[in-house]
Amino acid sequence: MSQERPGRLRPLTPLGLGWPNILSVLRILLVPVVVALLLARRDPTDIAAAAAFAVGATTDLLDGYLARRWAISTRTGQWLDPLADKLLVAAPVVTLTVIHRFPLLAAIVILAREVLVTGLRVYLGSRGRAMPASRAAKLKTAFQLLAILLYILPLPDGFRAAKLTVLVVAAALTVLTGADYSLRARGLARAAEPSRAEPHRGREG
């Protein structure tokens, strides 16, 4: 009978999914809750929406920590986590814009970047390539989440400058990281071309 070494940690995999994926699913389930509360357009429901959004943002940080802590990496998590992140950002942004509580230009910048990056991820994935998020991209996500949270909360007019400042930083990082991702994706795609062309070479000699 084999015994595990003392102190060795085993990854927890509830329902066969693993905690990171469970948290990603929870994040997705919170998205319609946030949207419904925002559409109610009342201060108490706005506060509840902010609380639900904050929980979702926290799970984004927590599932990354758990994945690293337990060294969990699954194919499901590779597409589920980015999907949950994009829904958590895009749905509140669209909703807030529709009810005229979020700047339209900032919404276009954020959503356009997400569409671009999603397309590039699919393109690279079709060529067996992947690109992890950079530190700048993680910082971008943090500022985006903070900006959205501030715009969800029913804050007095005195916070308008603070909200706009955070949003401007988030938008700037969104543009910069989108451009960086595009350049890196182009480099990876080019690097994949020789390996795809090798089988078509003729015999030498």
- Residue 99 in any domain: the answer is yes
Residue (of 104, 103, 80) closest to 21 by Cα position? 80
Let me know if residue 49 belongs to a domain. yes
In a domain? residue 60: yes
Q: What total number of domains does the chain contain?
A: 1
Any domain includes 4:
no
144 Cβ partners below 8 Å, 6+ apart? 89, 110, 170, 173, 174
Can you give the C-alpha Rg of the chain in angstroms?
21
pLDDT in tens, 85-110: 889 999 999 999 999 999 999 999 99
Output the domain CATH number for residue 135. 1.20.120.1760
pLDDT, residue 143, reads 95
Q: Are 50 and 92 in contact (CB under 8 A)?
A: no
User: Which range marks the domain in which residue 118 is found?
Assistant: 14-193
Other beta carbons less than 10 A from residue 177's beta carbon: 21
Distance CA 172, CA 158 (A): 23
Query: Does residue 5 lie in a domain region?
Result: no
Residue 80, classified by CB atoms within 10 Å of its CB into exposed (0-12), middle (13-18) or buried (19+), is buried
Model pLDDT for residues 153-187, shown as the tens digit of each residue:
999 999 999 999 999 999 999 999 989 888 887 87
- Is 2 a domain residue? no
* Residue 132 forms part of a structural domain: yes
In a domain, 6, yes or no: no
The one-character DSSP state at 157 is: G
DSSP state of 14: G
pLDDT tens by residue, 50-71: 999 999 999 877 766 665 665 5
- The closest alpha carbon to 47, from 32, 37, 56, belongs to 37
